Each structure stands twice: as C-alpha cells, then as structure tokens.
Structure 1
C-alpha cells in the first residue's frame, strides 16, 4: 500500500498494478516487446528495460520541435519519422508543421501500429488519421537507403539511440555509412535529428565527420522540464 498525505490527514490509497496487454516479437531479433498499462499510464518494455512511458515525452516532443525550427518557412516540407513509439514525436510534428506538410512514419513492428489504433488510441489523439500522415510498416534504414533527396527532415527515434538496445542491426543506422545514407536522403540544407537516452561524444564526432553541422542538445525527458535528461542531435546537411 502507498500512503499519500492530504491537506489535513494522510489517506491510504492502493497501488494500481501493471497489466500486460500484449507482446510482440521484433523482426530479425529474439527480443520481445511488451505493452503494459497501469490506470491511464502505458509502458513499452523490452525485458526489464522500459523503452518508453506515456508520462515521459518531453524529449520526444523536442525531437520534432528542434527539427521543425530549422526548416520553418519551407513550402510543403517532407518529413520522415523513424519509429512510431507512443506517437509523441508525431503529435509534436503535426502541431508545428504547416498544413501542406507530408509526414511519413516508418515503424518496424506491426503490433506497435496496432497498439496505437487500439489500447493507446487516447494517447495518440487521432494523429494517425491526420491527412498529412502516412504510416509505413518496415525498416526505416531500408526506406532511407532508397530515398534520394526526398526529405527536408529525418527524425530518428529508433532503439535507445546510437547505443542500440532492442535490435543489433540498428547500429547500422547510426554508423558512418548509415549517416551517409541519411545525408543522401535529405534535400539541400535538410535536417537530421536523432534522439538518444544518453549522451555519446563518439556519435557527435561521427555526425560531424559525415558532414553535418551538428549540435547536441540536452533536453528533459519530462514535458514539465523536470527529471532526467536525454539528448537530441540536430545536424544540418
């Protein structure tokens, strides 16, 4: 039991237990994602590691906002988001991009898209139904490789950042060759924005070596600007 103090007295409130709603395999990996719910809160887990939580989304919003600032004023901007997650980056992008924008979201795990339209529909608030949005089920690395000069911005929230956790092949996305592919997929003065749970000086160096004018921005995980810090790299082509 947890005790919470009121204004005049302490009241006893039971802890709400987590309930596992569903699980899904990750293509090409033995690992399994699990969707859990506690009241109105959702969590996506990989083993004992929490990949994302519906209460902590400030840095995911910053990923979209920082990129959008750098392409502001462009006509009909095309934006690729790698990783659907809980939709916070997508929702933030929709809030700041113009009505003529086109947003492609690449999500590797089909179940994550199903969760967005099912148990987490209230979290997504209809974002997938916006006419500017197209969801592609598949590997964002392959999509980037076949796209030449296609995007004004690429936003990557894949895995735990450059230090892969869920899928070993994600390391390719953040390698020198992967960064070169992202650079080739961007238009002139396009933006590559990368989310990470942790700072990584080696990745900063790789982005710079790949020809991006790079800034590593420290952002709060909590939308209320409190709590632990994450990192968003912003690189201009």
Structure 2
C-alpha cells in the first residue's frame, strides 16, 4: 500500500468538491485540492493526504510502549484518510486491528471511493475490522478489550470536532478508555498542539508513564501524541 503524498500540489487551483453528504453528525465533505484529498466536517478541516507522519507515530508509539507484547490488538478511533489503519496493517506484529468510524460516508470513500487506493490493502487484511459507530458509544458499550487504543477523532483534547466528543477527554471518558484496555495497555491520543493540562488529566485518571511525543511540522507548533499506560 502506498501513501498518497504530494506536498507540492495543494496550490493547484481552488478545491473541488468530490462528494458532500449529510451524515448522522452533520455535513461531511470530500474534496480534491490539486492532488491532495481533504475531509471537512461541518465546515471544519479535519485532515488531508499530504503527510502521514503524525498518524504513523500515533500507531508506532503505542506499539513501542507495549514492550514486545505478542500480537497485540489495537483499536483505532477514527478512520480519516486511512493513514493510521494503513500503517498498522503494514506491521505484521499487530494482531487484531479494529477501526471505529462514525461517518458512513468516510467508510464508503475507502471501500470503493477516492480514498480506496490508500486503504484497499488494509481493508482486505484478515486482521482488520471496520466498525461503523460513535467511538464514545463504543468504548462505553463494547465487551472487547485491546492492548492499545489510538485516538484520532478530533484536532486534540482541547479542539474537538463535535462537542459530544469533549467528554471523551474528561476523567469519566478516560475511565471508559481504560475499561477497554488490557492491564498494561496503552492509550495514544493525537493532537494538533501540545496540551499540558491533558497530561495532568491522564495522570488523575490513573494512567501511568504519561508523556508527550512531538512531531515537527513545517510551520507553527508541532503535532503531538499524548501517551499513557493503564496500570497492570
């Protein structure tokens, strides 16, 4: 599976809308800007196919924190443009790979739409399961458990796409995240900017070995991945 990466084409004329739908949580749009594909939700830019460094780090940081656990199961919150899923599927060390995505349109764009070149191999991988559900609902109701939970459904704990997601980063929400993790399991949370207060919230929720890894960007503050381990 090859990443769709082109850092030089984003200025090739105005964006072109490829698909626009009213989903269960509002409007979602897939558009092309040059050779880049972009996902917009309710007017808020979410992500594009220009680079997948931070999504790859999200998955790798969680995997590395598991200290060699055999065939760990990972839950990825948010399908997006598919970077996290594709990267996890490239790694034979992962066992079960579950992705929870609440927007049917996004899943469709990957199954047989413009995003399928990025994720077709991962979708075909026998380890992969795609669950169409709201992540907050899923972590509260599922009976499955995982060794790692990688969250990439917002622009960060302090910059949520939907106000209903805010509770996920609260002590109660983090308790739900811990509930679906095996003892010693890792929570990894992507954010468009560092959030020192969230580190403290993770510690207060009982997570150990809390730390933040930075991903350098061309301009502005770095993207980060917040990490915490559920005690054994």
Using structure 2 for the length normalisation, give the TM-score: 0.86
Q: Who is 1:92 aligned against? A: 87
Q: Who is 1:112 aligned against? A: 106
Unaligned runs of 5+ in 2: 1-10
Unaligned runs of 5+ in 1: 1-13
Question: Which structure has the bigger radius of gyration?
Answer: 1
Q: 1:81 aligned to 2:76?
A: yes
Q: 1:218 aligned to 2:211?
A: no
Distance 2:179 2:22 in 1: 31
| Secondary structure, aligned partner of 2:168 | helix
Distance 2:159 2:18 in 1: 25
Distance 1:163 1:25 in 2: 25
User: Matched residue pairs, number?
Assistant: 217
Distance 1:220 1:49 in 2: 22
| Secondary structure, aligned partner of 2:190 | strand
Using structure 1 for the length normalisation, give the TM-score: 0.84
**Larger deviation, residues 171-180 vs 35-44:** 35-44
Distance 1:132 1:89 in 2: 14
1:168 to partner: Cα distance: 0.8
- Maintained 8 Å contact 2:160/2:166: no
Superposed counterparts of 1:1-237, under 5 Å: 15-27=12-24, 29=25, 31-46=26-41, 48-98=43-93, 101-117=95-111, 118-147=113-142, 150-213=145-208, 214-221=210-217, 226-228=218-220, 229-237=222-230
Distance 1:94 1:132 in 2: 8
Deviations 1:149-184 (A, max 9, x none): 711000000121212432111011111101011112
Q: Residues 25 and 202 of structure 1: is their aligned pair in 2 closer, same or farther, counting only changes over 3 Å?
A: farther
Q: Residues 220 and 91 of structure 1: is their aligned pair in 2 closer, same or farther, counting only changes over 3 Å?
A: farther
Distance 2:16 2:159 in 1: 27
- Maintained 8 Å contact 2:186/2:227: yes
1:16 to partner: Cα distance: 3.8
Q: Residues 165 and 33 of structure 1: is their aligned pair in 2 closer, same or farther, counting only changes over 3 Å?
A: farther
- Maintained 8 Å contact 1:164/1:170: no
1:124 to partner: Cα distance: 2.1
**Larger deviation, residues 56-65 vs 123-132:** 123-132
CA-based RMSD of the aligned residues comes to 2.0
| Secondary structure, aligned partner of 2:126 | coil
